[in-house]
Structure 1
Amino acid sequence: MSSSSTPTSATPEELWRNSTDPNIPWVVQKYGGTSVGKSLESITKIVESYISSRTNVAIVCSARSSHTKALGTTNLLLQASREALTPPSSSSAAGGVSGTTTPFFPKRVGSGFFGKDLSSSVSSLSQLDINGSGRSSSPSPFFSSNRSRSPPKSPTTPSTSAAQEVQDQEEGFHKTVDLIKKGHLEAARVTLRAGPLRDELEDEIERDCESLRGFLYAAQIIDEISPRSQDSIVGTGERLACKIVAAALRDRGVDSELVVLDNIVDASFAAVGGDAALTSAGDQGVAQLGQEFYDHLAVKLGERLRECGQRVPVVTGYFGPVPGSLLAQIGRGYTDLCAALCAVGLKASELQVWKEVDGIFTADPRKVKSARLVPVITPDEAAELTYYGSEVIHPFTMEQVIRARIPIRIKNVENPKGDGTIIYPDEQFPRSLQSTKPDSKAELTVEERMPTAVTIKDSIIVLNIHSNRKTLSHGFLARIFGTLDRAGVVVDLISTSEVHVSMAMQSFTHRHRLTRLLSDLEKIGDVSVSKEMAILSLVGRNMRNAIGSAGAMFTALAKAGVNIEMISQGASEINISCVIEEKDAIKALNVIHDSCLTYPPSPARAIQGLQLS
């Protein structure tokens, strides 16, 4: 139906809403950047289907990606940060902002979809850095920041070198900000029907991007971006994405509310694992936040989302500056963590992670045609698969939900009717599973399960170090690990003896880092490097009780003529890994899948198969 024959937005009576019944269960749905960028129509239908089945829904969104994560908004924001600290010319950096004040908080103009009247704003959601938030008391369910200053202007330049200055202005972070703004404006125009709703959304995008531009320009002037400022810059991506999603849902008849979490971490956190908790150093000496901090945050998130009433919360995955920096403490996976903590705070029946695949497969279906969907998996298995190349969900994020005994379901945004893959807490793990054959009533007990999946991690190098001072072999390993720690290097696999160590790790992006590491390690022993390698990992919960899993794996590789560089088995005994040449990766993946993850044609299986057919 064309926009000319339909209303610009649904009336309040027509909107889909959550229930106020406290007995109705909650589901927290996390959507990745690609889903936000390409599948808003599907997201709307998914939300409507859950509400219609008497389930309350809360949505957490990543920054949008129109094509791939590499070209996504977060990467562009990080690029803009780097560009702000490398100005195109000294004359441009010396220029001033003519006739403006610090351009971080553009003024609200008018009222409407995002609201101006903030009389009922939540005190814990005040202004911060680039954007803030407040609750709208207008009939519209959406709110945005209460800004008090005039919109920033693009930096002006001295008249003495106008042509060069204008060219410089168009380069660097200005060009990247323009690219971000253009992409989001195009998304708004494609996603929403013409009307006041879309007009105000476009104004919001303009304001946010110009605020970002002013913020970066100020950073360029002082030649510094603090960790807190970097967090706020990156958080712009989630704010922009959620504004589009919230507006799109409302335009399609879902009563939604934009929830910006910039100030959810407030002074109350100081006593529950805030700055005082940053005392014990973790990996590479980065102080870590305690579990008490995350427990407190989950409670506050649950309280905030319940304040939305019947409106469907659309939550920014970015939840504001945390002690020690959000990126340093959690990394790029903070959106998944936010969704997990929302699920814990709401005591949700399920956390759903919506991707562009049907769930977790026994192998990469793009590389192994016979790969099949895994219906149920344990947290340990999911963690191993994530670490060794299959992007599932970060183990720390998963831990927050699993410890609250909330299952996680991986589903396909383009195939919402599919069952997906569910990650059960160990104590809830089903003791039997239905056969994967359609209409089959046969069950396989957990003890009969095959290994769960096989995965490949590409772009690996192997460092072999042989001690050249055998009389000091007792300090050999300590010196190696001390060198790796100082270099900030993460080792994926390791195989050791008294005087020899083999280590597999991700290839270095910058060659000089490898050169410097090799120079330091050569002071300890003789070093050789094997490049263009891959880690092949066989993962399975029941492998610790299975006899012959390793033998079957290595026999299959030997028959296929695949040479093994090194072997390692995890302490959990649910993972057997080996390093092979990268050129053999796909062949090895298929060989192991066919030999170790396909049920053998035993007489009992053959009889069972005949009975089921």
Structure 2
Amino acid sequence: MKVLKFGGSSVANAQNIKLVIDIVVNSAKDEKLIVVVSAFSKVTDLLQLASRKAAAGDESFKEILIEIEKKHLEAIKELIPISEQSSLLSHIKRIINHLETLLDGCYLLGELSLRTADTILSFGELLSSYIIAEALKQNLKNSGYKDSRELIKTNSHFGKAAVNFEISNQLIIDYFESNENQVVVLPGFIAASLDGINTTLGRGGSDYSAAIMAGALNANQLEIWTDVNGMYTANPKVVKQAQPIAFISYQEAMELSHFGAKVLYPPTIQPVLRKNIPILIKNTFEPDAEGTYISNQEMTYKNPVKGISHIDNITLITLEGPGMIGVTGSSKRLFEVLSYQEINVIFITQASSEHSICIGILNSDADLAQEVINKAFEVEISQNKIDPCIVERNLCIIALVGENMKNHQGLSGRMFSTLGKNNVNIRAIAQGASERNISAVINERDVKKALNTLHENFFEENTKQLNLFVMGVGNVGEKFIEQIHKQNNYLKENLKINVRVVAISNSRKMHFDEEGIDLNEWQSLLQNGETADQENFISAVKDLNLRNSIFVDITANESISKTYEHYLKRNIAVVTCNKIACASEYNNYKKLKNLSQKFNAPFLFETNVGAGLPIIDTVKNLVASGDKVHKIQAVLSGSLNFIFNNFNEENTFHDVVKEAGVQGFTEPDPKIDLSGIDVARKILILIRESGYQMEIEEITNESFMPAECLETTSNEAFFNSLKDHASHFENIYKEALSKDSRLKYVAQFENGKANVGLRFIPKDHPFYNLEGKDNIVLFFTDRYVDQPLLIKGAGAGAAVTASGIFADVIRIGNN
């Protein structure tokens, strides 16, 4: 014999009930079945609401009653042939009339006792089970119905009655020994006291009803049919990558159920655990899916962690003070006073010094717990031996669960390290002696990030998901997104990195998608997005609170560069090609670096100098290895190098600058390049990364541009001014020819001083043959004295800059 239980979602409506009947008919071909059913989906909630409204004198309870009746009558009309409906409709109508009488009584008396509440709530299962039993008879003649109240007997603790197993088991055995039906349908959740009064078995009571039946009859198997494919490695609504667990032990299942795995009610396991009856959790809507098999069968697993679960709405209460040290009975008094108030303690941890004890309870119990604890210790509190209890609300407990965790070292360290890297603050920690559970209390706002981070670390083959928030999708930004889209599969397969673009923004529009933006359609999505707003963008990033979040700044905007600290303080990495932040006041530059370290949030800006060239990374490695930079000589502007390499008798200065802009080598405002400020910022960043303190004002900028050109207020005016001053640039070019030299815009740092300016480079100089848009940097250090360390390559262009940004993102992924 097998026992099958179908939950509320499985019997939500006639369409779902037909699926249930198919499953039952197919299963009944092999052996006898007991089918335990819940109330139709949401009906228990409606009954509870109606009873409260009635007791409060609110006549709208009648509308709810009409809704309940309609829901059941519609199911009958779809499930039962018209010729067979009459007697069933009459029976259901009698039940509804009885319910109406009870609700009218609550309305007239203005009260709702626990006993009455249990009776009212029992109507959900009574209605559903009778309808399903009649529908099953249309498909399987040899089936019947039995009222669970006649078989399961309890005490009179209304709301959550305790089962009298000795009497119940005998009643169940006696009934089924004489029953010849192939299938018997019973209502779950409900029972009766020894004197025949309706009782209920508490939350998840239908599971419990099924387990009681299975245990009493030594069933071959208990099947729990629900709307998911078994127990998952984490809550699939929170962790999209969660997977069903194929096999799990009773103990592991109980741990996961306790910590919020709602597909199974913890007490369910007790009656079958004693008899070693396996439990199979199956999906009504995918009956061919494997499901989760729960038993005491020993199995070996590569992963010692079976699942990650959590409990929301937790309050942490801490009792501490010197008066607890060495004093016996403090813990007893604490738990005793909570027990008297029926406050369930979910989490316990105590310092070895005995100075404090910490407990986790539900938020709903927090006020009462605080009151009674302070009352119980009022003498010690008045004598300053113990402090008034500290109450921290809106927390959450997360837990790693696994039977074999006790045989593996380092799991707790791995768990806490993973959370720490994502700035998830741990308020308290507990681990039982069995070591099958490691629990931690965290802030409720971090639960999604924590669960996803842990799941990624323990279940996803160390695939790290990076969540990108991209600001700026011009030439470089477009190439960056294109590169991500193209390389996504490669990154997943070879580097175990899953890069998702969660947000994109330009100066006009922004678009968010928590599940990741479809990069095939990002341009149209952005075009139809909401109005861009920096404050709203920052708020949205913070509110999403995703693991491994990276803010990517692909602009040259000063106001955006001032937002970095907001991200870093929330453990959100910053990757930027925007030079303004790192070239701002030294104190601001240093503050950003310090915030990065303090909050474990990478701050990477390799593309600030040399686009995709590894210049900054090289400097960092030199300094980290103990070398000291004394002198830097560099051509750091790919745009200026392109301009002066192509400026000659055939191409005017105006035309070459125009072409540089078309090819994406210059900033949108070309004055930033031609004024020398861009090069000054770059050399300043290299100086600072080399370990020196310097401000931008200390760099001598020897401009070759006429003042009138730099004072223009628009690009159109600027280019017109280049035409007006064409002779100025021609004279510079002619002077270079006369000296048999080439024009290069050079940055230099030596002896604590720095300058940038146009230089005449002779043929024997390393800079002379620098072609196209290339950059070159010479580092003279303690180790590179006679022959400098030289880095050379393309230093401008959308594609190479985008690749440099992409490389920084991958660095974070590999960290």
Query: What's the counterpart of residue 328 of structure 2?
Result: 474
Report the Cα offset of residue 413 of structure 1.
0.3
8 A Cα contact 2:192 2:198, kept in partner: no
How does 1:20-39 map onto structure 2 within 5 Å? Answer: 26-38=1-13, 39=16
1-side partners of 2:31 and 2:19: how far apart?
A: 18
Closer, same or farther in 2 for the Cα pair 1:225/1:339, shift >3 Å?
same
Pairing 1:556–2:531 present: no
Pairing 1:591–2:453 present: yes
Aligned partner letter, 1:343: A
Pairing 1:43–2:20 present: yes
Aligned with 1:580 (options 442, 466, 474) = 442
Aligned partner letter, 1:241: S
Report the Cα offset of residue 389 of structure 1.
1.2
Report the Cα offset of residue 229 of structure 1.
4.2
**Greater Rg over alpha carbons, structure:** 2
Query: What's the counterpart of residue 74 of structure 1?
Result: 44
1-side partners of 2:200 and 2:39: how far apart?
A: 19
Query: What's the counterpart of residue 712 of structure 2?
Result: none
Aligned with 1:181 (options 57, 69, 90) = 69
8 A Cα contact 2:370 2:389, kept in partner: no
2-side partners of 1:44 and 1:56: how far apart?
A: 15
Report the Cα offset of residue 556 of structure 1.
1.1
Query: What's the counterpart of residue 264 of structure 2?
Result: 393
2-side partners of 1:304 and 1:287: how far apart?
A: 22
Report the Cα offset of residue 400 of structure 1.
0.4
How does 1:388-467 map onto structure 2 within 5 Å? Answer: 388-424=259-295, 426=296, 429-431=297-299, 445-446=300-301, 448-467=302-321
8 A Cα contact 2:28 2:182, kept in partner: no
Query: What's the counterpart of residue 129 of structure 2?
Result: 242
2-side partners of 1:173 and 1:449: how far apart?
A: 52
8 A Cα contact 2:226 2:282, kept in partner: yes
Q: What per-residue deviation string (whole Å, max 9, x for no partner) do you get for residues 290-331 of structure 1?
A: xxx314413322332454413421111145322599998842
8 A Cα contact 2:190 2:200, kept in partner: no
2-side partners of 1:78 and 1:245: how far apart?
A: 22
2-side partners of 1:178 and 1:57: how far apart?
A: 34
Pairing 1:62–2:32 present: no
Aligned partner letter, 1:506: L
Query: What's the counterpart of residue 435 of structure 1?
Result: none
Query: What's the counterpart of residue 100 of structure 1?
Result: none
Report the Cα offset of residue 392 of structure 1.
3.6
Bigger mean CA deviation after superposition, 500-509 or 347-356: 500-509
Closer, same or farther in 2 for the Cα pair 1:376/1:301, shift >3 Å?
same
How does 1:255-270 map onto structure 2 within 5 Å? Answer: 255-264=142-151
Q: What per-residue deviation string (whole Å, max 9, x for no partner) do you get for residues 253-276 of structure 1?
A: 55431211333357xxxxxxx77x
Quote the sequence identity (%).
Answer: 30
Report the Cα offset of residue 517 of structure 1.
4.9
- Paired residue secondary structure (1:458): strand
8 A Cα contact 1:382 1:392, kept in partner: no
Query: What's the counterpart of residue 360 of structure 1?
Result: 231
Aligned partner letter, 1:547: Q
Q: What per-residue deviation string (whole Å, max 9, x for no partner) do you get for residues 186-234 of structure 1?
A: 22223334x1322332222211010122234345556666655443322
Closer, same or farther in 2 for the Cα pair 1:80/1:369, shift >3 Å?
closer
Report the Cα offset of residue 408 of structure 1.
0.5
1-side partners of 2:284 and 2:138: how far apart?
A: 19
- Paired residue secondary structure (2:388): strand
8 A Cα contact 2:203 2:265, kept in partner: no
Pairing 1:322–2:299 present: no
Report the Cα offset of residue 480 of structure 1.
2.2
8 A Cα contact 1:483 1:520, kept in partner: no
Report the Cα offset of residue 360 of structure 1.
0.9
2-side partners of 1:507 and 1:87: how far apart?
A: 29
Query: What's the counterpart of residue 10 of structure 1?
Result: none
8 A Cα contact 2:190 2:198, kept in partner: no
8 A Cα contact 1:550 1:576, kept in partner: yes
Closer, same or farther in 2 for the Cα pair 1:174/1:535, shift >3 Å?
same
Aligned with 1:232 (options 116, 119, 138) = 119
Report the Cα offset of residue 518 of structure 1.
7.0
1-side partners of 2:106 and 2:232: how far apart?
A: 45
Structure 1: where are the runs of 5+ without partners?
Answer: 1-25, 66-71, 89-170, 267-273, 432-444, 602-608
Aligned with 1:547 (options 400, 409, 415) = 409
Aligned with 2:341 (options 481, 487, 501) = 487
1-side partners of 2:179 and 2:116: how far apart?
A: 29
Closer, same or farther in 2 for the Cα pair 1:43/1:329, shift >3 Å?
closer
Report the Cα offset of residue 504 of structure 1.
1.9
Aligned with 2:93 (options 201, 206, 209) = 206
2-side partners of 1:468 and 1:180: how far apart?
A: 58
How does 1:342-381 map onto structure 2 within 5 Å? Answer: 342-381=213-252
2-side partners of 1:325 and 1:57: how far apart?
A: 27
Aligned with 1:505 (options 358, 361, 383) = 361
1-side partners of 2:361 and 2:197: how far apart?
A: 25
* Runs of 4 or more above 6 Å deviation: 324-329
8 A Cα contact 2:189 2:202, kept in partner: no
TM-score, with structure 2 as normaliser: 0.51
8 A Cα contact 1:535 1:579, kept in partner: yes
Query: What's the counterpart of residue 164 of structure 1?
Result: none
Aligned partner letter, 2:341: A
8 A Cα contact 1:30 1:354, kept in partner: yes
Q: What per-residue deviation string (whole Å, max 9, x for no partner) do you get for residues 319-378 of structure 1?
A: 532259999884233322221122223332110000000001111223223322211111
Aligned partner letter, 2:97: E
Aligned partner letter, 1:238: E
- Paired residue secondary structure (1:33): coil
8 A Cα contact 2:5 2:224, kept in partner: yes
8 A Cα contact 1:61 1:335, kept in partner: yes
Aligned residues: 452
Q: What per-residue deviation string (whole Å, max 9, x for no partner) do you get for residues 1-52 of structure 1?
A: xxxxxxxxxxxxxxxxxxxxxxxxx111000112111411111111122123
Closer, same or farther in 2 for the Cα pair 1:430/1:479, shift >3 Å?
closer
Report the Cα offset of residue 541 of structure 1.
0.3
Query: What's the counterpart of residue 565 of structure 1?
Result: 427
1-side partners of 2:145 and 2:97: how far apart?
A: 20
Aligned partner letter, 1:205: I
- Paired residue secondary structure (2:241): coil
Aligned partner letter, 2:357: V
Aligned partner letter, 2:313: S
Report the Cα offset of residue 174 of structure 1.
3.2
Aligned partner letter, 1:534: C
Closer, same or farther in 2 for the Cα pair 1:287/1:187, shift >3 Å?
closer
Aligned partner letter, 1:394: Y
1-side partners of 2:37 and 2:252: how far apart?
A: 26
Aligned with 1:87 (options 57, 61, 86) = 57
Aligned partner letter, 2:52: R
Closer, same or farther in 2 for the Cα pair 1:572/1:589, shift >3 Å?
same
Bigger mean CA deviation after superposition, 358-367 or 225-234: 225-234
2-side partners of 1:254 and 1:328: how far apart?
A: 31
